């Protein structure tokens, strides 16, 4: 059962993790079975792992199955305990934005996993990746049902932003706009000035700092750098950040957008932390 006081926070950060894409959201998925609690926080990065074939032992995803998962996920977030857990994030305004954003993504992923397991997908990295890869193929296939699936996915994101951050999704961002902003973000994260800021944060890590604390502080710095750029494009404050990230998901499979993840990875490498 979801806690009424906090979103489940089992970590998604370890050297054995890889990146995956789910219904427009990029997040990291542990090779351990989902539901365990490895330590650490997940850096928010936009990197898609694509597979050309369905993993052995995973079912084929039909459009009807994808619509069933999307409908169930929307219903649970709208009227279930998952929605109540998202609403609790609004009461944690003093907590770092990085923690609250990850809390929303983690809840979305666990909800999705719970809905795909009855279809035959395994509750681990292979299962979620197999589902994500086929979901992406269906979204790109065109047709009336594709529009229905896209519409459901948009409603899910609108609902999550509203419940977790009291923010509206807003008008979609074009691919050219997304590429332009992501290019500026990459340049900022790779700049000598930002590297100096990374070095300062790393230098302030105390001997007793846990990996989770280090990841949280570094992720906060990365998000600060991103917010400095997107504020120049009318995405102001926390609401602007979550709105931009949600809108960016529409283009997360674009190769140029994906390549921007290298800048985030380089920051973690400079800090001596694994992504």
Does 189 lie in the same domain as 237? Answer: yes
pLDDT tens-digit readout, 260-275: 788 999 999 999 988 6
- The reply to whether 1 falls in a domain is no
- Check if the beta carbon of residue 135 is closer than 8 Å to that of residue 61: yes
Single out the residue in 108, 137, 165 at which a domain terminates.
165
CB burial of 97-132 (b: ≥16 within 10 Å; e: otherwise) equals bbbbbbbbbbbbbbbbbbbbeebebbebbbbbbbbb
CB count, 10 Å around CB of 137? 13
**48 pLDDT more than 70:** no
pLDDT band at residue 127, thresholds of 50, 70 and 90? Answer: very high
Contacting residues for 215 by C-beta, under 8 A, at least 6 apart: 13, 40, 41, 42, 43, 273
pLDDT digits (tens, 9 = 90+) for 191-225: 999 999 999 999 999 888 899 889 889 999 999 99
Looking at the structure, tell me whether residues 131 and 27 fall in a common domain.
yes
Q: Are residues 203 and 260 in the same domain?
A: yes
Domain count within the chain: 2
Q: Alpha carbon of 1 to those of 198, 217, 233: distances in Å? A: 38, 29, 40
Axis crossing angle, helix 63-79 with helix 97-116, rounded to the nearest 10: 130
Tens of pLDDT, residues 153-181: 999 999 999 999 999 998 889 999 999 99
Q: Are residues 26 and 148 in the same domain?
A: yes
**Residues 117 and 141 both lie in one domain:** yes
The predicted-structure confidence for 70-117, as pLDDT tens digits, reads as follows: 999 999 999 999 999 999 999 998 888 988 998 999 999 999 999 999
Instruction: State the Cα–Cα distance between residues 38 and 54, nearest whole angstrom.
Output: 27
Mean pLDDT for the stretch of residues 15-37: 35
What is the pLDDT, as a whole number, of residue 64?
Answer: 95
Please list, residue by residue across 72-92, b when 16 or more beta carbons sit within 10 angstroms of its beta carbon and e when fewer do.
bbbebbeeeebbebbebbeee
């Amino acid at each position: 059962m979801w806690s009424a006081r906090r979103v489940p926070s089992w970590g998604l950060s370890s050297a054995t993790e890889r990146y995956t894409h789910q219904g427009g959201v990029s997040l990291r998925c542990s090779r351990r079975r989902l539901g365990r609690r490895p330590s650490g926080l997940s850096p928010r990065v936009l990197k898609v792992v694509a597979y050309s074939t369905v993993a052995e032992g995973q079912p084929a995803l039909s459009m009807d199955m994808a619509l069933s998962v999307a409908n169930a996920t929307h219903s649970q977030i709208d009227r279930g305990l998952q929605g109540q857990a998202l609403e609790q994030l609004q009461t944690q305004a003093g907590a770092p934005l990085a923690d609250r954003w990850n809390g929303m993504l983690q809840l979305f992923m666990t909800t999705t996993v719970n809905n795909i397991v009855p279809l035959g997908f395994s509750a681990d990295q292979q299962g979620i990746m197999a589902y994500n890869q086929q979901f992406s193929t269906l979204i790109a296939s065109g047709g009336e049902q594709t529009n229905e699936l896209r519409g459901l996915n948009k409603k899910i994101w609108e609902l999550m932003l509203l419940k977790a951050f009291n923010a509206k999704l807003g008008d979609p961002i074009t691919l050219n706009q997304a590429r332009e902003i992501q290019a500026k973000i990459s340049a900022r994260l790779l700049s000598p000035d930002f590297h100096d800021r990374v070095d300062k944060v790393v230098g302030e890590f105390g001997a007793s700092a846990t990996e989770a604390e280090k990841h949280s502080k570094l992720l906060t710095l990365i998000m600060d750098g991103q917010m400095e750029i997107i504020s120049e494009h009318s995405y102001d404050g926390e609401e602007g950040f979550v709105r931009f990230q949600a809108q960016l998901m529409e283009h997360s499979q674009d190769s140029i957008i994906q390549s921007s993840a290298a800048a985030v990875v380089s920051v973690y490498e400079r800090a001596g932390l694994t992504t």
